[in-house]
Chain A
Amino acid sequence: MYAYDKYDHALVNARVEEFRDQVNRRVKGELTEEEFRPLRLMNGLYLQLHAYMLRVAVPYGTLNGTQMRKLAHIARKYDKGYGHFTTRQNIQYNWPKLSETPDILQELADVEMHAIQTSGNCIRNVTTDQFAGATADEVADPRPYAELIRQWSTFHPEFSFLPRKFKIAITGADIDRAAVKWHDIGLVVKKNDAGEIGFEVLVGGGMGRTPVIAKTIRDFLPEKDLLSYLEAILRVYNEQGRRDNKYKARIKILVDALGADEYARQTEEEWQKIKDQPIDFPAEEAARIKAYFAPPPLQVLSDDVPAVDELAKKNFLFAAWLQNNTNQHKVPGHVNVTISLKPHGGIPGDATAEQMDLVAALADEYSQGELRISHEQNLILPHVAKKDLPAIWTDLDEAGLGIPNAGLLTDIIACPGLDYCSLANARSIPLAQQLGKRFDDFKRLQDIGPLKIKISGCINSCGHHHAGHIGILGVDRKGEENYQLLLGGSGAEDASKAAILGPGFDENGIIDAVEKVVAVYLGEREEGEEFLATYRRVGPQVFKEAVYDAR
């Protein structure tokens, strides 16, 4: 893992003191709310429906046990005993007091954490594959590049007041678990024929009220040119991105207006002015950063572990967990464990302080002290020896964290919705809870197989409904919550936009509709065919008839 150097420490500590002073001035009335608002947002502090909300950055979703214990401590001391892990691999606290926020930020700084780049029209925290550096299907670990982008983008003076927020995601694997095609910039680490590392560069993806899948503007960018090329992309956007209309201000609108080819041409033109200048990192700096992400010293072990097989034979839930919640590690005899934060009837992404402490302890004992957060709002123990799985699952299960539903229908992304968010039009969480209760049979879930449901409580799409195999969008219809049903989206390497199936439903109606959609799939699927493949093969009509004809 990356460790702060003296510059990082000085910068983050200075930021805490600066914010402490700003809070004091606000409380004394020396700053108006209008003056203070952008300052608090630059430190991750929003005002939501019931209270302030503090969004803490977990850069590229990687943290250690000590940091997780600190997150638990903050939940206990300054909040109401829980936190909410987000689709941007961050954590949010729902009840911090303004007056205590500087203390929270100092506690975070003590363990090399902060809330910078979690709000505002800047380059937000870079996100990546939750299995980065650990999975068998990877070209290269994307985290050194994510860290490099973090260092380049933090407080970048030219890009602190962009037309709108800006999100970059990077993956190093064939299977895209970071939804890179749905980001302002998506990067895919690749090797060329000569075996050299570089990046496919995509621009202009995004969700919100105008969903767009990013377009490739460069097939192979050499590793050494990463920062200057990103800088060129951002310069074109910063100069021409719309500032007159917040809803037209994202880069996707500009890329659409110019066309991807023209955007690529202008980027190239800008890049020629700045490439090969000191902005790109020297080889020794690249090596220094990469050293932080050196693979842990794992022994090659056998993938055949009799104790694991025996428990799987005896216990269906463990067998399902083994199948759904573990990912093959690049070192034989090891896996990456997904700890589902989607208990049936629970709140997606929420974890109590006690659960965070347990996960931190498991990380210290079994996963080299390392943890990850996935954009699907789950926690990961990377680098786990297979032989340790029975002990880990037993501990997790006792704490309500052994749910074997990773990647299944009830592993739902849901935004906080109207339960917390002042932008929302409808609640999201209760739908996830109801779906968990409706599909609370793990044998049935196993039979249905991989199926991603994503729920947003408004058109801002924080719940990624555009990318759901089944997407649900909450709207306000004459003061009542109403839910639209979308089908056929994907956030993976085969990214696609989900399409609205027909008229919306009330809260109970949408749950029934999902059940009907699943029934159509089970009736139509061919041997071994997953939901999305069946939908793409048979098209929406058969689903539409089943959902609406019997109304």
Chain B
Amino acid sequence: MARKIKGPQMIVANRLLDGRVVFLKADGGWSAVAADAAVAADEAGVDALEALAQKSADDNFVLSIEVIDATERDGKPYPAHMKFAMQALGPSVRPDLGYQVSPAWEQTDL
């Protein structure tokens, strides 16, 4: 579906079985690390990523797919808005929990 975008986009979702936050990779797989995310720079690219994400949802692997604004941090993809940056890390008030502790934090069966 044609769409207008203002800048680079990436896709975030939650894993069905445990709700963990995951970012869509270019190969259609998912990563718990925002830096691994595929970034689309144009409308066609976003459509392609969204189709990959939707296939995962149809396969009952993820839910709550969101196309979000992407920026860069340390040269890697990162969510632009604070809400999704929070998802990339975990709660700011619990630095002992979430992906901020370790990128591999409970990163099973991705």
Contacts and interface: CB of A to CB of B under 8 A. Distances in A.
Interface in A415-439: 418-420, 422, 424, 427, 429-430, 433
Nearest to B97: A80
Contacts of B87: 49-50
Interface stretch (A26-34, A256-264, A371-379): A26-34
Contact of B98 (A33, A50, A424, A479): A50
Contact of A347 (B17, B57, B90, B93): B93
B7 interface: no
A98 interface: yes
A18 B23 CA distance: 32
Interface residues of B, number: 25
Contacts of A430: 92-93
Given A50-B98, A418-B82, A418-B83, A99 B93 contact: no
B77 to A, nearest CB: 17
A98 B86 contact: no
Nearest to B20: A51
Given A33-B63, A418-B86, A479 B19 contact: no
A480 B80 CA distance: 11
A97 interface: yes
B81 interface: yes
B69 to A, nearest CB: 9
Interface in B61-110: 63-64, 80-83, 86-87, 90-94, 97-98
A42 B20 CA distance: 21
A99 B98 CA distance: 20
Please classify how large the interface on chain A is, using the bins under 10, 10 to 19, 20 to 34, 35 or more: 20 to 34
A152 interface: no
Contacts of B86: 49, 418-419
Contact of B93 (A27, A50, A419): A419
A420 B73 CA distance: 22
A180 B87 CA distance: 36
Contacts of A420: 91
A430 B87 CA distance: 17
B18 A49 contact: no
A98 B17 CA distance: 5
B16 interface: yes
A427 B57 contact: no
Contacts of B63: 33, 47
B93 A429 contact: yes
A512 to B, nearest CB: 21
Contacts of B59: 29
B33 interface: no
Contacts of A200: none
Nearest to B18: A97
B78 to A, nearest CB: 14
Given A33-B63, A418-B83, A52 B19 contact: yes
Contacts of B35: none
A481 interface: yes
B53 interface: no
Contacts of A433: 93
Interface of B: 14, 16-21, 57, 59-60, 63-64, 80-83, 86-87, 90-94, 97-98
Given A47-B64, A50-B91, 10 more contacts: A27-B17, A50-B20, A50-B21, A51-B14, A51-B18, A51-B20, A97-B19, A347-B94, A419-B86, A419-B91
